[in-house]
Structures are given as C-alpha cells and as structure tokens.
Structure 1
Amino acid sequence: MENAFIVQGGKPLNGTIQLEGAKNVALKVTIAALLFDEPVHFKNIPDISDIKELYHLLESVGAHVKENGETVTIDPTGLHSHEVDLLHGSKIRVSFMLFAPFIKRYGKARIPNPGGCRIGARPIDRMIDLMNAFGVKTEYDHSTGYYDATLDGGVLKGTEYAFAKKTHTGTELAIMLAAMAKGETVIKNAALEPEIDDLISFLNQSGAQIKRSGGEINILGVEHLSHKAPFSIMCDRNNAVTYAVGALATRGDILIKGAKPKHLSTFLSLLDDAGGGHEEQENGMRFFYKGPLHATDVTTAPEPGFMNDWQAPWAILMTQAEGISSIHETVFENRFGYVSELNKLGAHIEYFQPSVDDPNSLYQFDIQSKEAFKQKFQGIRIHGPTHLHGGVMSVSDLRAGAALLIGACVAEGESVVIGTDQIDRGYEYIEHRLAAVGASIRRM
C-alpha cells in the first residue's frame, strides 16, 4: 500500500519535538519576495510539499530558488511571465496571491482558480473586490478557469478598504498591494493572525512602512524594497497544537521546542478548562497529561478566537474527555470530513446543526442558499471517554489528516491512515517527529 502511514497505537508519547517553520508564513513571504528587485534570503522555511509546489511554480515563471542548508534564497530577477499555468495553479491555493507581484511588475496577471484543500467555499470574491479598490479590474473566464487582471492607469494607488468579514489571505494580499502602491492605504477589519504580523515584520525590515493598530492597518507605499538580512520566520503554531494533543490524548508528556504561549493563548485557555497540563519553558512549551480530561464546548472563530485548524485535533482530545463535548464550526463549511473516519476507530461523534439567530453575521463563509444551508451540519457532539481501536482511515484535508494520525496513536492496535500526500503539505517529516516521542509509525 502506498501513500499511507501504518501506526501501532496505544502508547504514551513522551519526549521532545522541534517545531518547524510556519507554513502560512513561508508561503506568503516567498511570494512577497517577488516584489523585490534582488535576491531575498529566508531561514526556518519548512521542508513541506506545499512549499515545494510553490518553488516549482515560481521557477516556471522565471524566478530562481536555491536551498543552501538552513537558508532559502528567492531570486526574482529572472521573472518573465505574468501567467500561472493551470497545472501549477490548481495544486496550491496561495497561487492567487501572485496577483500582487505580477500587477506590480507587469500591470496585469493571469491566474487560474486556485487549488489547495477543498474544505468549503473560499471567499475569492472578497479578494476580487479588494483588488478593484486598488484599481485592478478582474474578470473570470468560465471557459478557461482563469482570472484575468489589468491595472487601470498603470499605477497602483493607495486606497481605504474595509473587509466585510475577516480574511487572512485577503489581508495579506492587501498588504502586498499597498506596500508598493502610490500613497497611503488604510485596511479596516483586517485579520489578526500572528502569521500576518510576521509578514509585516519581514516587509518592514525591508523598507516598507506598515503600521497596525488592532484590526486597522495603515500602509504608506514605497517605490522599492531592499533586502538587508536573512529573515527567520516564526514556528508553526498549528503543528504545535497537533503535537500537544498527541501528548495529552495518549497520556504522555512532550516538550515542543519553538512553541510560544502568545501564539496559542486561546488554545491554552481552553486546555485549562479541559484539565490538560502545560507550562512554558525556556525554549518552548511542555504539554502533559495530569489527570482526567473534562468535556468542553468550542466555537471556532477568526483570531483571536479558537482557530478552525485546531478543531480536528481538539475533537481527538475530546474523545478522551469525560462527558459530552461540542464543536461549532463558523469559519468554513465542510470541515468535519474526519468525523466518519474517526468513528471507524470507535469514537462516538454525531452531527448537529447549531441554532443561530443570524447565520450571515456569525459565519465567515458566504451562505448562497438558506434552504441548502439548513441541510448542512456546522456542529458535532463528541461523547467521551471512548476506547479507540485500530482501523483504516482516509484523509480529507491537511489538518484533519494530522488529527487522524494522532487518533491512530491513541487507538489500541494497528491503524492505517491513507493520504500522506495531504499531511505532507504542512508537516515536515511528521513520522520522524512522532517516532522520536515514542510512536510506532512507518510510511508505506
């Protein structure tokens, strides 16, 4: 069997894991490097497949990527195209952000409908509306699957723009456009994730003039960005949650080097409610089982709320908690693809539709049809504690895949997790990290 992990579960995970660089920063700063007229150097870039796919894409349009030990260099000086081919664009959702450097360089861009995880409707229309505010006109060709964008007047001009709903990727696209636009830009209702702040730090280190005050970002455009020193990106807090749950759900004890409390405050608060052990140490955070876990009720939300990327591992943890827990997903549709797979291991999880007075206000995705929405489930109830046993599971998306892998470590006996390619998109050699803390795991 290929594209699978085989796990012999039922053992506590104990030891130390070094956290890798944040996927959601690495992808964005790599694209931002195309705004420069010189090579740009980065450190702590994770060796994951999404990054590899982005490198292939950049090289297809003329950029040069060099990996030298811990340093990755992006050289944009050979760029020769404003168009992303359909194959590369369909593999990775972040390709849509190439509008910023292409518009800056060529005044036009041609990019296909983006790929990535299929976990609900992605609000591409919000980014189209954003670009329009900067004077970029975009049309979608249904016959080809491409977005064609052109810049009116040949100059990006600063603007004032308020997002109707918070969008992580939309905020980052706005920052990249505004950093090189003429004049001042004010972005309101901007997303608050620390990964965005890392992008801002990188650009400001290179001469950009970006100031954030909560959900408002003020940007004074500059003509050139100048690279001064290698930029080391933050570690991946989403992966930290995965490994933390691995420690707690298996009744183990793991030190996660690189994890920072300030990036995990909402998770840590909920972990306190559940009775999980954690403490800050000099070079990271320790997560440990200290007694019976308690049921919790969670509603996902944009930063500073409980991240939707954390709800799948949290569901794993709640299968080992006493009582009935609930998770209400408000950021994406179709984010419970792991539930049927986890139930194969003996978990007792059921769907429900939470009662919501104003769905359009609460949910971050666009509700196209109220009647169709009523037929969908945005909540689950998890009965615990349950004894998990081995089974065969299939991965639906990146974070769900990693959560199922942790579920396999919890379960007694042998489990097969099919879909390593999804997990590899955001986790650097996850089987090696889990094996280092005692997991019996091998890749097929």
Structure 2
Amino acid sequence: MKTEFTEAQLADPDIRESNQILRTCVHCGFCTATCPTFVLLGDELDSPRGRIYLIKDMLESGRAASKEEVVHVDRCLSCLSCMTTCPSGVHYMHLVDHARHHIEETYSRPLMERLIRATLAFVLPRPALFRAALAGARLAQPVKALLTGSSMTVKRLRAMLELAPPVVPLPGESARPMVYPAEGARRGRVALLTGCAQTVLAPSINDATIRLLTRMGIEVVVTAGQGCCGALTHHMGRQDSSHALARRNIEAWVREAEGEGLDAIVINASGCGTTVKDYGHMFREAEPGLRDRAARVAELAKDVSEVLAAFRYEPVREPPGIAVAYHAACSLQHGQQITAVPKSLLEQAGFEVRVPAEAHLCCGSAGTYNILQPEIAGRLRERKLGFLHRTGADIVASGNIGCLTQLGGGGLPVAHTVELLDWMAGGPAPAAVMAARARQEALAAG
C-alpha cells in the first residue's frame, strides 16, 4: 500500500511504525473471510482491509477522527484473526491500537458514552471497586426490566447488568501477595499475574493454577505491586492509563527476577498474556532502563499452558468420561499463536476434546466489547454457542476469563482449562464438572 506521510509526520515513532505496517498491506482481502464483523455485517469498512483504508486516511491527513472512522474502528474486536490469515504479515494489532489512541485524543464522544467508557476504565482494573460495582449491579437487577429503549446507552447499561453474575465469589487465597512453596524438590520458580477482573469473577482460576504448579514442584510468587496488565484501557485508546499499569507490573516483576529469580511470569488469562508479551513494544521508545526491563518481562511472560507443557504436566486420575468443547480464545490462538498445547494437555488429562466449527471466530467478549458493542457481541455469542452445543460436549473449556463470562449461562457449564487440569492432577472438582455430571445423569434418566 502506498503511503504519503510527510517527513515531519514520520518523526513521530507511532506514525513511523504505522507507515511501515500500512506499506506491508497488499490489499489481497484474505482477512475479510476470517473477520467476525465482516462475516456478520458484510460491510467492507467493517473488515480489516476497510479499516486499514480508514486508518490510513485518518493518520495521513493528521486531522481529528471522523464519526464514520470511529464507528468502524470501534466495531473491531481486536480478535487478531486477520493477523493469523494475512499472508503478508501485516501487524494489524499495533495499527488499530494506534488508531484507537488517535481517536481518544482527537474525537469527542457523546456525553453518556464518555461516562460509560470512563467508568469502565476506572472500575474494571481495580478489584475492590469492581466487586462493589457487581454488588450494586445485583441490587439494580429489577431496573433491567425498565431498560427497554433502543438507544445505545440503554443497550450498554442493559448489557452491564446482564453480564453481572448472580453471585460474586469470595476472594481467593491468591488475592494477597505471598510465596507459595513448591511441594517436594523445587523444579522452578514463577510469578503469577493474578489480574483484575478475574480475581473478582473467578478467583478459583488463580487458586487452581497455584495448586497445580506447586504440586508439580514449582514455587509460585504473587508479587506485591502487580495488578491489572493494562489491556482493558489499552484497547480503549487510553495509553497513559495502560502504560502506567504496565509500568507498575514491570517494576514488580523485575524486582522479583533480580532477587530470588524467575523462570517465567505465568498468565492464565490469555487477553492479559497478549498484552504483557507486547510490553517490549509498548515501551520501545522509553528510556533505555525501562525499555530493557519491559523487554525482559515480555520475554518471561508465558501462558499457563506453555509452562505446564514445559514442566511436563501429568494427571493422576482415571479418564473422567467427559467430553470437552475447547473454545480457543482469540487472544491465545491469534494473539499468541498458541493453538495445539491446551488441547493436547486436556487430551493428556483424559478428556475427549471436541473442536467446534468456526473455531477461529470470536465469541464477542473482547475485553469491554460486549458492553460497548452489545448487539454485535450478542450475535457472536449466539453463533458461538450454537456451534459449541453441536459438538455434543459436556463442558466448554477456555483459557480466558472474558470468554468464560461471555459464554456462561448458555446451557453448557464453562471452566478454565487449568481448573480441569488441576482436577485431573489431584485437585478439587470445579463447579463445571459437578454441573456436567448432573446434566449427564439427567439425560440418562430421560
């Protein structure tokens, strides 16, 4: 693709990189076939190729973002399926992130939209506030019946209430900084990103991760000072906020790496993993010390499935007779290019693994997307659930809390992959297994 940025524009490192990305695109259109929004809407501007044209024009002109550009960029899920498909290696992730930051800096959204986005950006990365917000959402459930208007604000408010769980779990043991010693001889030492939303919505995931790793002889440390990875605000274009959160994690993990040492930083929410593995790029223009520390953290970051495979996970229970529909989170299969390892681990654990049709397409979660774009997210959810049900599986397994939240309540129990692996290695049965057993018994009874 030909670009016409001026020399002055190219002095900006973000423009310079976006220019290189744009020049890589050859207009082939392979990305359109695997883009969820294009598959649903059939609009070229809601495909990666169409958005690339819009972003190019917006950045080249140097002007503020227009309403049309905002509409179509906002509809992008950042699922990164286009990057898996692209034969030219167009790094769409960095391009759309730049576009979102430009939109945030130059476009004035309607007041209610600004309030909703600001609330999400402030509350979600803070577990205590998020827990309080969910408690408030439970009390506000009767209001949901009154939210019947067709405005986007009403739809977003309704989506927030519908996504709130009926019961908020108690905080898990992993919520506080501490060291969890390895059982037996220590084979390794890792830090665990406990995250933000996941610690509130499903603390059992972190607890299962710690149990499983320590049982395998791996010491796990939850470092003081770590928190939200920054992904939620990063994908809303709020660069200052996301970089501040990332910097806090970098400093916390580097202190630990330089102290007792780390073999890996374990991440069990793949949306977070994609972002942490990109810290080196996020801080590429920072002062040398921070730039080097960010690159070191990015290199240490591993999805929990990568660590389990590297340390040779082994189950201890007999095969459970449970069929698992594996939902590949976009951030894992496209963002991190991890596809076979989670399925192999589940099969090794004794599960029958079934892969649904259209496994490459997003479920509609995508961070805050299912709140900010509820109609498209809802259609993607129903499409995904339909294919998952057709597998005839007993449980849906995935490696990302956003996907589990999006697909929960859809008629099939959902569990994080690590919860199932922990159970088969001697841990307690997750709630999804109990629900699946009850469902099996009910079906058998007729």
TM-score, structure 2 as length reference:
0.32
Name whichever structure is richer in strand by fraction: 1
